Amino acid sequence: MTLVERFLKYVSFDTQSSESTGLTPSTAKQMVFAQYLKTELEGLGLEDITLDERAYLFATLPANTDKPLPTIGFIAHLDTSPDMTGENVSPRIVKGYDGSDITLCAEENIVLSPKQFPELLDHKGEDLIVTDGRTLLGADDKAGIAEIVSAVAYLKEHPEIKHGKIRIGFNPDEEIGEGAHHFDVEKFGCDWAYTMDGGEVGELEFENFNAAVAKIVFKGRNVHPGYAKDKMVNSIFIANRFINLLPTAERPEHTAGYEGFFHLTGVEGGVELSTLTYIIRDHNRALFENRKQLIQDLVAQINTEYGEGTALLILHDQYYNMREHIEPVMHIIDTAFAAMEAVGVKPNVRPIRGGTDGAQLSFKGLPCPNIFAGGLNFHGRYEFVPIQSMEKATRVIVKIAELIAATK
């Protein structure tokens, strides 16, 4: 099976995760995909293949040299984003993209255009896999899975390429921030690993946001509107007051690079009770703590203005910036950098404006930077992945294994 055949097969599985079930995996359909992958890995002749009840799938490509080498890992996630349906994905290949608009769905006038997505023009002449405009594609992160499986298959077919022991790991629920929660680092048994979960070709990331989620519940008082004077307290207006207290310029749509933000992700409300949900992000740990403190201060301000107990805050951290755990082992970044250059890819070291499982795994004792998988416009109907980008990512995996064997 080729890389493209694998990818097209993988995206046929609906693997959306869900924040509402409280289970791991959060959706049973992720296990269905994991079971398929287990069978494929068995067919490739990999060893130590395990699939646990939480849909964590591990496997080993044994070393083909007696030279003492570190054990490295490559990791990708099974799930796709809850932001848009991943059911009945219908991909197609646009061969030799010419730089013009791509009609995804003529019936609904859904068009992938370089006017809105100028990054398309970076891939003129390449073969793009796109959606039919009705679903996401699932390149995040089925491109990563296809690249890892294709790379280990290639290494197995080419024993002349010497390498140490390679572990691969596929886990559920990355998109809801829980992919690393039950990841058994000790069982995985690697000196370090790479997640294949980045975007554009060349991306190499070892810095990510510090992340927290805040839920604020606002209590009002509902009475008949005909007799509400001096009695009714409308929690929707209190919630709106809170929204306007936060700095407008520090929303995702106004930030880039290392700039953090407050992102309002959910609003539920009625007169009696309203709830706001925010995610809080910043690369700098001190600024991250300041952002959390601002949320707490504004909740206190609301309680001062409207009465104690009006606003209730539930705040918890999700993950932290992996940089502090990567800097002591920067040789793993140097290796990935050299591998990219060796296969003709210009490395682009940049901070992740988000998080990966690698961030949490780094704090669990497995240094785990992130490498590009090649997809763009994740989580929506305009998602696409150039075939040539997936091929380059596959070559980077192979070259990393080769370089480690050559330099140790």
- Nearest to residue 235, comparing CAs of 262, 214, 215, 217? 217
- Specify the amino acid at residue 171: N
**Can you tell me which residue has the tokens 């996630």?**
77
Residue 40 CB coordination number (10 Å): 17
Angle at 165 between CA 160 and CA 166, to 5 degrees: 95
Active-site hit among 14, 79, 205, 282: 79
The H or E element containing residue 188 is: helix 185-188
What is the distance between the alpha carbons of residues 369 and 352, in angstroms, rounded to a whole number?
Answer: 10
Q: 3-class SS at 301? A: helix
**Can you tell me which residue has the tokens 């069982």?**
187
Active-site hit among 14, 140, 141, 174: 174
Q: In this structure, what token pair is assigned to residue 133?
A: 């405009």
Q: Is 357 one of the annotated active-site residues of the chain?
A: no
Q: In this structure, what token pair is assigned to residue 336?
A: 């990935």
Are the C-beta atoms of residues 312 and 216 closer than 8 Å to each other? yes
What is the distance between the alpha carbons of residues 145 and 142, in angstroms, rounded to a whole number?
Answer: 5
- Nearest to residue 362, comparing CAs of 193, 169, 168? 193
Residue 229 CB coordination number (10 Å): 8
> Would you list the DSSP string of 39-90?
HHHHHTT-EEEEE-TT--EEEEE--SS-S----EEEEEES-B-TTS--TT--
Q: Report the Cα 240 to chain-centroid distance in Å.
A: 31
Q: Is 383 one of the annotated active-site residues of the chain?
A: no
- Specify the amino acid at residue 312: L
What are the C-alpha distances in Å from 52 to residues 41, 72, 173, 261, 361? 15, 21, 14, 37, 18
Q: 3-class SS at 361? A: helix
Any idea which residues carry the catalytic annotation? 79, 174
